[in-house]
Chains A and B, each alone.
Chain A
Amino acid sequence: MTVRVQASDFDVSRELAALRAGDRRVGAVAVFIGTVRDINDEATIAALTLEHYPGMTEKALVAIVDEAKARWDILDALVIHRVGELVPADQIVLVAVTSAHRGEAFAACEFIMDYLKTRAPFWKKEATPDGVRWVDARASDDDAAARWNAAPGTKT
């Protein structure tokens, strides 16, 4: 398992190659990449500043990946989240999961992302034409995370 919080961009191809390097058990790699949109809540976004809480954020990400490993038969997982100033079209976050079969990889990848959105200490500040504003949390993200309580993983 690898969890990284970094200011620099990431190379998806290289990260995926490293994640499954030489592991012949892998039959599926599920990947999510989050990127910066140019519109949020009807405002034009010029730039986004991502902040985290060093130490706690990494610990929270490890706990989320551990939870995914407990729920599904996955082989490995990678989470990279960027911090600092980003602009539209930049990559923000990468979640990649390997498993023998696609069902486990898809589910674990989505679970990690839903929990990251609601539990990992990151905060976004947006620069819009009207000034700078902290982004509000979304109820839809809470709903997305909550559905995993009702639908436990397939691991038995």
Chain B
Amino acid sequence: MRDAPVDTLTLVYLARLRDAFGAATERVVLPPEVTTAAQLRAWLAARGGSFATELAAGRAVRIAVNHDIAQPDTPVRPGDEVALLPPVTGG
């Protein structure tokens, strides 16, 4: 993931979300107005289809930026690895 071109951000979809979106990873170029984790989530949900369903407000999805759990206002930038995580069920 570290070899991603500098202008792209790598999205990682895990577990149920990978099945729903039909991909494990994706590289995207963010529009200038998308600078935080919450904005990224809304931008993806606006694609419609399973993205709208799975990322609708109130759905329990956490976002990790470079392996740390993000808050809604956590910045996202080109070069970051941003993962979408369903509620965890290990142990």
Contact = CB atoms under 8 A, between A and B. Distances in A.
B86 A123 contact: yes
Contacts of B85: 53, 121
Interface in A42-65: 50-53, 55-56, 59
Given A51-B14, A53-B14, A120 B87 contact: no
Main secondary structure of the interface of B (DSSP, over half): loop
Contacts of A52: 90
Interface string A122-133: 111100000000
B87 A122 contact: no
B86 A134 contact: yes
A55 B67 contact: yes
B67 A92 contact: no
Contacts of A125: 15
B90 A137 contact: no
Interface in A82-108: 92-93
A135 B87 CA distance: 9
Interface in B45-79: 60, 64, 67-68
Contacts of B86: 123, 134
Interface of A: 34, 50-53, 55-56, 59, 81, 92-93, 113, 116-125, 134-138
B14 A116 contact: no
B91 A51 contact: no
A121 B14 CA distance: 9
A136 B90 contact: no
Given A93-B90, A117-B91, A137-B87, 7 more contacts: A51-B15, A53-B67, A81-B90, A122-B91, A123-B15, A134-B19, A138-B89
B12 A117 contact: no
